[in-house]
Structure formats: structure tokens, C-alpha cells
Structure 1
């Protein structure tokens, strides 16, 4: 017999710009499934793009968003109920602080069965598909039996715990860049993910780390977290500065984390011949460029970065060892009932990471 209430407060997405705060049934665990009480859920840039109707989420006969659905994929919580066999399978108990990968893998496709679960062919993601993978903008959330569940030790603060998912994604992106000691690295974008990457790139000790962003508030935070040089490309000629700093060659590594098409064309021009270009961000609109730059002109090593495979334990460990921080990145917190205000704040220039917390007054 469950001790949980029958209903809970949740944000429910019905369509573009049609997100409602409602009372919905509390999920119940099936075999090897886990119910958590959500402690925090971050509002991601992809959440904003989905809310505003980006085609990649809503267009076509089989849209990515299976509405009505509870959104939210940056989360952590406390285990409150375990389905049959869940404790044994996942190595957890009631009261543990936990999180899981953003993806809810099928466990059967060629990617899942060869250890590449983050590229699951079915690709259900928490916060996007009704019933299959409901998200965390709610008081309670269900983890499937296929979820990879990670315990969060006491040494990790609540703000740090709320950043585990974006930090795990940032770790994968930085790993994809294979940064060397002599590299000049340009990171475009100093939002939540960018500021996570700043800290991680600094741990790689490159020759120079340059961060680009049009938001002065975020540039100042990037500098505090370890950037050697910050550039506002709206006010300064970023191309010229980077070329001058690299004897005219360009940067060795360029990481695109802006979510804006200009971040791509800028980077292809800024990176040197035989350089490494890491594409991380998600775009809300089509991006076009001269692809001959990649091959004929520069022979670039172009790498994508998707989710945070096998990196959640690394993020947790680095937070626990105080090698990473959430200070100044988590800027605002709202209750679920204040979702409209939270969404508006997430677009404000003074905000970086905005959190939703059940029973939080704002």
C-alpha cells in the first residue's frame, strides 16, 4: 500500500505556449521502477524552445513531444517508493538522493545492446513522451526499470545536485574536444552549459580559454570560473582578436554552445585548419553554412555531442571533491505554481539557471 497522495501538482504541456499547472495522478511504480519526490527541476534552453513551438519538437506526423506530457529533464530527488525488485536492481533504498540519465533507453536496439545507450534508436527522453517518460516538473516522478540511477552523496549541495544533468552533458562535450595542453580553446556561449564547460575545460589546463557571449553578466561569471579571456562579439571583433592571439591561424578547438546559427558560421571561420569543432547546442531554427569549409578548405574534425553518457558519476565526484561549483550559476528558484513567472525569468538577461521546486515559495 502506497503512502503517497493520490494527486500532485505538475506542469503539463499540451502544445506550443499551452503549458498548464494542474493536479494529476501521482505515478505508481511497476516492476523494478522507482518513484522519487522531486527536489528540483531546472528549466533548460530546450524547454524554452519547446514551449515557444520549435518545429523539431512539434512538427510532423510523429512529433518529438507526445502531449499532453509533464516536461522537465534536469532533476534530482529522493526515493519514496520502490517497485518489486527495484532496490536490488538499482542498489538503492527509500530516502536516497538520486538522479538518472535524461534518456530512458529501450535496452533492446543495437545501440543499447552495445553500450551506446545514449544513442538509443527509440530515443525516449524524460520530459518529452507521455507515460513512457514523463518529466520532473511535478512533485513526483517515475524512473523506468531501464534507467541508470545514480546516488547523490551528502557532500553534494542541493544546487550542485540540480546541475548534475547539465554538468554531465558538459563533461561529454569537453571529452569530445580532446583538449591538449597547448590548445587555444574558444567556447561560444556562457549559459548554464557553457559555464559548466568553463570549469571543466580549465581542469584540462589548455594554453588559453576564450569565452564568447553577448551577455556581459555571463561573461563576468565565465571569467570568475576560469576563462583567460572573455569577448562580447557584439561589441568587439572576436574573429580578429582570436586570429591575432594565434599568429593568424585560429583556435585549435571551437565548442559551439550558443543555440544560435551565428555560432556555427562564426566557429567555422574562427577555428584553424585541421582544428576540432564540437557542436553541442540545440537549434530552434535551421542552420546553413558553406560545408566546403569543413572539407576542402580546412579538413576539420567535426564532432557532435549528445547527452551525458557515463558522465553522471564523474559530475557527482567532481562536485563532491569541490572541483566544480554551482555558485552563481543557479540564480533563481520558483514553485511549480509559479511556472509562468519562472519561464519568463529563464529568458531574462540576469538569469542563468532557473529552478522549479515543489512547495517552494519563489
Structure 2
């Protein structure tokens, strides 16, 4: 395991020419093995590493030799054993932040070729290989050849940014400074917005300042946060407030911070059941409430392309936020880190 106890200072500097960019492995591709390793969450807190036959792609699929997969915050409840999950999970699940190199293509695939390095929207990526639909994989530009690229969360960040419609000069509050919140702070700041960050974790507030936030406020008392945001926003609230936690209390706070006719953008993943909202408050202020989650794979792949272009153009730099790296055999430790968030933890990546 590589544990970066302090934020990584690396940055990306690349040209913006993406047209036709494609990286392929040099030389003849090696013959693939007959089997692969895949992690199985057999029960809450229990990982089994299994040897399985190498999957064959369908006619419109490709097989990806995975270079890595990010650990998502949404993986934590299944690891902890929340009651709405059934065990064991399928091999490789719920890994959905994978990237790697195409090593086999189906008979009807036209847009991808063996050797293409891709970001992929797949769902069994805690493994050495995964198959993915042709239209759910995006070729990564040459400029990103050596960089990790957890495609799905980067696409999510791009899609939330687009739905938020943040304008230069606006005061924006982001509640929740995990990987997604940090990416949004970084991109909104680079668009010219003045971003206020709110989080419970001290290390997350330090990340927020590093990403460009004009203020980083601890979420100790909602009333205190409201007073501080009012002072920073001229007393009228914020035209954009992003909730990126997935919990009730921060959602309540987010709604209280939105200015009249502002936008409340729900980016947090509220997977554990019902929420209550103050509809009188929402109605009186005439706010727009935007659920910034996407379920259309085409929208996700479009977000992946925009994310790759943004990294190349220097508008987005996820590299410093990928703070911890684990081998596939230590997936349990990676999931534990996502729960405990030690030190300056922001995101874990699992490498086969």
C-alpha cells in the first residue's frame, strides 16, 4: 500500500489537442492468460480473491485489462453490511471506476481496437479484467498515458458541474469535501466562482483550501455556518449550493443557504432511504432543485470525454486527490481506508 500522509503536489500539464488521440501498446499484444483474479465481497467486511476464467466479450463489447479502479464512497455501505444488500456479490462488484487497456474486441465492435487505453463504465472492476459495452468505453488521449483515470467519478463531477450552471463571480457553497466535492471546488474556482467549502473533517477543509476555496468552514453548528456564509455572500445567500454528502442534516443546511431564485444542486448519493424537506422554505424562495445524478450511460460517457479534455487542458487535476493505492489483494484495506479516512485521505485506488 502506498499511503500519502500529506497531499500529493503533482499536477497535470498537457496540450488541448484531443482530436484522434489514441494510445496503443507498442509491439504485438501478449497472449492473454486463461484465468484472472477477481475480488468477491463474500460478506460484510470479508473479501475473497478468486481465480476465474477470463471473460469473453460479446459481439458489441470489449474486454479491458484493468490498470486500476477507484474505491467509491457508495462502496462503503455494502462493505459495512447495510441491510439492503445481498451476499456474496458478483466477482469484481461493486467496482465501477475502472480504466485500462482493451485486449479483446467483439465481432461487431467498430470504434475501439486492441491496445486502446480507455476509461470505462463497468461494474465488476475490482478484478484484473472486465468486459464493457463498446459505447461505455472512452479512448483516453495520449497526454494521459501514464495517469490514473477513474472515469466514472470524473464524469460525475463534469456532469454535476454542467447541471450546476456556475457563473464567474458567483458565490457558491459546496457542502461535503470528499473526492467529488474537491473536484467541484477545483473546477468552479478555475471558472472564476468564489467557493465556500463546508465539511466536518479538518483534513477535508485543508483540501478545500488547496483546491481554491475562499473559505473552509467546519460543520459544527448549522447556525454558525449560516451566519458565516451570510457574511461571505453579502447576506442574501448563495445563488448556487451543492450538497455532496448524501445525508439529511447537510441537505437541510444546503437548502437554508440558497438565495432567492438560486439553485440547490443535490450531488450526494442518498441511497439509504427517505428524506424530509422543508417545502415551505423551498417554495417561498422559489429555488430550483436539481438532482444532479445521471443514469443514462451515454451521458456518463460524454462526461468521461469532457473530463479527459479538461485534464489535458489544465482545467481539472484529479491526481493529487488519489491519495492511497492498494493492490487488489488488499481491497479490504482499501475499503477500510474509505470508511476510516486516515490522515489526509481523499480517495483510494486499487491496482491489479
TM-score (norm 1): 0.80
Which of 86, 107, 121 is the equivalent residue of 1:84? Answer: 107
- Aligned counterpart, 1:299: 286
Secondary structure of 1:218 counterpart: helix
Unaligned runs of 5+ in 1: 103-125, 128-134
Deviation of the 1:68 alpha carbon: 2.9
Q: How does 1:342-361 map to 2 (within 5 A)?
A: 342-347=334-339, 348-350=341-343, 351-358=345-352
Q: Do structure 1's residue 94 and structure 2's residue 114 form an aligned pair?
A: yes
Partner residue of 1:138? 127
Distance 1:54 1:292, change over 3 A: farther
Match for residue 324 of structure 1 among 313, 316, 326? 316
Unaligned runs of 5+ in 2: 1-29
- Give, in angstroms, the shift of residue 194 of structure 1: 0.9
- 1:139 and 1:290, CA in 2 relative to 1: closer, same or farther beyond 3 A? same
Is the CA contact 2:65–2:100 (under 8 Å) kept in the aligned structure 1? yes
Cα separation, partners in 2 of 1:277 and 1:235, compared to 1, 3 Å: closer
Matches within 5 A, 1:82-231: 82-86=105-109, 88=110, 91-100=111-120, 102=121, 126-127=122-123, 135-145=124-134, 147-156=135-144, 158-162=146-150, 164-206=151-193, 208-231=194-217
Deviations 1:275-306 (A, max 9, x none): 100001112433323222221x2121000111
Partner of 1:70: 92
Secondary structure of the residue that 1:281 maps to in structure 2? coil
Whole-Å Cα distance in 2 between the matches of residues 158 and 221 of structure 1?
24
Conservation of the 8 A alpha-carbon contact between 2:243 and 2:266: yes
User: Which deviates more from structure 2 when the two are superposed, residues 37-46 or residues 195-204?
Assistant: 195-204
Cα drift, residue 160 of structure 1: 4.4
Residue 165 (structure 1) shift: 2.1
> Is the contact between residue 8 and residue 139 of structure 1 (CA under 8 Å) also seen in structure 2?
yes
Give the alignment's TM-score, normalised by structure 2: 0.83
Aligned residues: 313
In 2, Cα distance between equivalents of 1:242 and 1:183 = 13
Aligned-pair CA distance for 1:15:
4.9
Matches of 2:291 and 2:260 in 1, distance apart?
Answer: 18
Deviation at 1:271, TM superposition (A): 1.1
Match of 2:62 in 1: 34
Q: Which has the higher contact order (CA 8 A, sep 6+)?
A: 2
1:341 deviation in Å?
1.2
Conserved 8 A contact 2:92-2:125: yes
How far the C-alpha of 1:321 sits from its partner, in A, is 2.0
Deviation of residue 193 (structure 1)?
Answer: 0.7
Question: Deviation at 1:357?
Answer: 0.3
Alpha-carbon distance in 1 for matches of 2:119, 2:64: 9
Show the 5 A alignment for 1:227-238: 227-234=213-220, 237-238=224-225
Is the CA contact 1:39–1:76 (under 8 Å) kept in the aligned structure 2? Answer: yes
